[in-house]
Structure 1
Amino acid sequence: MIKTLQNKNIGLIKNVFLFSFIVTYLNVQAQQNDTITNSIIKNVNCQQFTINDNLSYQYSKPKFFDFITKEPHDFGLMGSMLIQRSNLIWFGVSVTATVALLPADQKITNSSRNYGQQIGFPESHNYSGAIKMYPKNINSAIYRIGNGFTALLVGGGLLTYGLINNNYRAIHTTSELLEGLITSGLLVQPFKRLTGRESPDVAAISGVNGGNWQFAPSFAAYQKHTPTYDAMPSGHITTLMTTVMILSENYKEVKWIKPVGFGLMGLMGFEMLQSKVHWASDFPIAIFMGYIIGKSIVKSRITEIKKTEVSDVKAFQPKFHYSFSSNQSYTLAGVNMVY
């Protein structure tokens, strides 16, 4: 069965693009539902979208270069979000998970490769076409999900819909996805060049369990022998996590984006283990980075409008009327309480 699938490029391409098309279709449906229920409030400068009974998102009119001009602001937001208590806890969890996985990295890689062989996954990735675009086997299709092409495909669908329907949310989401790709690259590359960790396929040749670490290798060495230094953290995981966060936060009413996205992330993570591209400990920090990047980008674009229930407290607030009277021997005070 594996051989048959490997010989059918069209079927494999469908595996690569399936998630992208489903999410794009779902987002279009969400927009249409908003229109049907009159949940979109349109004017020249902003549009408002209902997320649930108590929350709406407001989007300003998008500008073409938002994905570039908002970058400095996003980095400022990332810094402020990083020092928030909840995010500091998750950062600590990601660091702890990384440290805990390091001793088991080689064993996890070997086990993953063995299982990959059992299900017919080759270790290498193979593509065809002028720019090596089309995957020639299943695991190559899975690996392609995290290289940014998924984000571009979804963004292309949203941009088309947004321009045709003058839908600010779809256009902003497209811009955010592109912004996420840029930001992920700007953050991941310095970390890779600083840690200088050997990839599993190179470590298999050097014979070092868990791979060598050469902190801050020279620029020339990194460019010439990239797999020797670029394992930590995983750029594919960071990129896909950023994409999932941007989509799920903009379309918060669509509940299955996260489960599907995280499921694909797990599948891609296994593929990268069995093909000896990454170690398991390369993933936790990458996941956290994608989370922070996605959340900060979305936060810079959306104005949340929360509907507070108007209570009738004032209607039931008691009113007090005081009266005083006296006779020859007593002075009387009276209180009349009215609801």
Structure 2
Amino acid sequence: MLPRFVAVLLLAVWPLWVHADPIPPVVDWTVPDDLPWQTPPSASPAHRYTVPTVGGDTDLVYHNPEFWDFMWRFPGDYVALWDKAMQEEAIPYWGAVVLSTGVLIYYDQKLINGAQNLGRRWGIGNKDNTKPYFSIFGQPIRGPSDVGSAMYFIGDGWLHSSFALGFLGYGYFGEDSRALRTGSELVEGLMTTAFATQTLKHITGRESPIRATQGGGVWRFFPNQIDYHQHVPSFDAFPSGHLATGVMTVTVIAENYPEYTFVQPLGWTLLGLLSFQMMNNGVHWASDYPLAIAMGYGFGKVAVARGRAIEAHSANRAAGIRRDAPQGWDALRLAPMVTADGSMGIGVEYPF
């Protein structure tokens, strides 16, 4: 039973571990400049932040966002993502989402049982033990109180909102256009993923495992909305908003900071823990995940594509724009290494 459970669970979360190439080579993620509510970037060189790409042939150029960019760009993100989803090159990805979702629906009840058995064996609680620590404008701010709730908290909207505020604050006080743009894109992504996942939840009406009345849960398409809001866990399983938001956050940060290669493996590992815990505490089925991953990744890619320009080095040199590279401690790099005699260790790199 356990090998079968592990094998099918890996099928559920396989996209989380494909991080070697963050940009699928066959899908063009560039977006047109005439999307609805597209805000033209500032042309002032003082508001540009240029980062050399890992490959070295192009630069990522960031402009300061307008204050309400995340709001005005919100509708255009759906237009852009729909355009990308309808590309012929996207068919294999849709096929993977549909196939993995179908297979996982078949195994859902066994996967839930296996996840909860493992949780009990490892001493991980299967209840939401987050508790309020303080309140903002009367709204309680909850946080984890044990290992299980800490794993579940990885997908909490307050955590991702804190990331966005952190980037916005650093960008504003540090006059860093890339950080400002990243924070704006995170807010933008939180809005697009929340609206899209909530819309699908209200359409599909799938029972959460904790409220399931039969194996795999009942789907009640287009449920009565009064019933929905009175008994939310009985209708809101598909797709996972927590996972979609988490994937969006990792995608935006990793795409805007490609030189920090630890972001993706760390992010995907944390999302894997979140995925397990949401099954352990009965919030989601494994089949709620593939579409959530695709949505979070797509909204993150679109937000980044609309928020920066990619220019050749020659264009930046001609414009007299400085290519900013990490300085000081930010330039220090640690990486695993293998010596000629086969010994393993940690290498230190510092460009000067």
Q: Does the alignment pair 1:230 with 2:239?
A: no
Report the TM-score when normalising by structure 1. Answer: 0.75
Distance (Å, rounded) in 1 between the aligned partners of 2:273 and 2:47: 41
SS in 1 for 2:59: strand
Give the alignment partner of residue 100 of structure 2, picking from 97, 100, 108. Answer: 97
Separation (CA, whole Å) in 2 of partners of 1:246 and 1:154: 11
Structure 1 residues 274-285: aligned runs within 5 Å: 274-285=280-291
Correspondence for 2:79: 76
Asked whether the equivalents of residues 54 and 308 of structure 1 are also in contact (C-alpha less than 8 Å), the reply is no
Name the structure 1 match of 2:162. 153
Residue number in structure 2 paired with 1:126? 129
Query: What does residue 110 of structure 1 align with?
Result: 113
Q: Is the 8 A contact 2:248 2:300 kept in 1?
A: yes
Deviations 1:103-149 (A, max 9, x none): 11000000100110111112111123242522111111111111222
Deviation at 1:61, TM superposition (A): 2.5
SS in 1 for 2:46: coil
Is residue 2:62 matched to residue 1:62?
Answer: no
Aligned to 2:266: 260
TM value normalised by structure 2? 0.72
Counterpart of 1:287 in structure 2 is 293
Quote how far apart the aligned CAs of 1:73 are.
1.9
Matches within 5 A, 1:297-336: 297-307=303-313
Question: Which of 208, 216, 226 is residue 220 of structure 1 equivalent to?
Answer: 226
CA 1:229–1:139 in structure 2 vs 1: closer, same or farther (change >3 Å)? same
What is the distance in 1 between the residues matched to 2:310 and 2:282? Answer: 43
* 8 Å Cα contact 1:73-1:300 kept in structure 2: no
2:111/2:286 contact within 8 Å kept: yes
For the pair 1:244 / 2:250, whether they are aligned, the reply is yes
| Cα distance between partner residues in 2 of 1:185 and 1:88 | 24
Q: Find the aligned partners of 1:302 and 1:84 in 2 and give their Cα distance.
A: 22
Worse-matched range after superposition: 71-80 or 292-301 = 71-80
What amino acid is the match of 2:165? G
Q: Secondary structure at the match of 2:53?
A: strand
Aligned residue among 202, 205, 213 for 2:211: 202
Kindly provide the amino acid, as one letter, of the partner of residue 48 in structure 1. T
- 2:47 & 2:107 partners in 1: Cα distance? 54
| Structure 1 counterpart of 2:192 | 183
CA offset at residue 308 of structure 1? 7.6
In 1, are the aligned partners of 2:47 and 2:177 still within 8 Å (CA)?
Answer: no
Aligned length: 266
Ranges in structure 1 where 5+ consecutive residues have no aligned partner:
1-41, 310-339
C-alpha distance in structure 1 between counterparts of 2:312 and 2:97, whole Å:
32
Q: Deviations along 1:72-100, whole A, 9 cap, x unmatched?
A: 22121111111223323212101110001
Given the alignment, which residue of 86, 90, 96 partners 2:89? 86
Identity of aligned residues (%): 35
124, 131, 135: which one aligns with 2:144:
135
Q: CA deviation at 1:46?
A: 2.5
**Distance in structure 1 (CA, Å) of the matches to 2:111 and 2:162:** 32
Query: Quick one: distance in 2 between partners of 1:157 and 1:301?
Result: 18
The structure whose Rg is larger is 1
Given that 1:81 and 1:296 are in contact with CA atoms closer than 8 Å, whether structure 2 keeps it comes out as: no
CA contact (8 A) 2:125 2:281 kept: yes
